[in-house]
Amino acid sequence: MPAPAAVLPHRPPFLLLDEVTALVAGERAEGYWLTSGDEPFFGGHFPGRPTLPGVLMTEALAQLGAYAVLSDERMAGKLPLFGGIDGARFRRQVLPGERLDLRVEVLRLSARAGRAAGGG
Sheet hosting strand 99-109, strand order edge to edge:
19-24, 28-34, 99-109, 114-119
Scored b (16 or more CB within 10 A) or e, 17-29 reads bbebeebebbbbb
Q: Which helix (H) or strand (E) holds 70?
A: helix 54-70
- CA distance to 46, 74, 96, 107, per residue, from 43 (Å): 7, 41, 10, 37
Q: Which option is the CATH number for 4-119: 3.10.620.30, 1.10.3720.10, 3.10.129.10, 3.40.50.300?
A: 3.10.129.10
Q: How far apart are CA 64 and CA 29, in angstroms?
A: 7
The gap between the terminal CA atoms of the chain, to the nearest Å, is 20
Average pLDDT over residues 25-54: 97
**Could you tell me the pTM of the whole model?**
0.94
pLDDT of 43-83, one tens digit each? 999 999 999 999 999 999 999 999 999 999 999 889 988 88
Active site residues: 45
**Residue 4 reports pLDDT greater than 90:** yes
DSSP 8-state code for residue 74: G
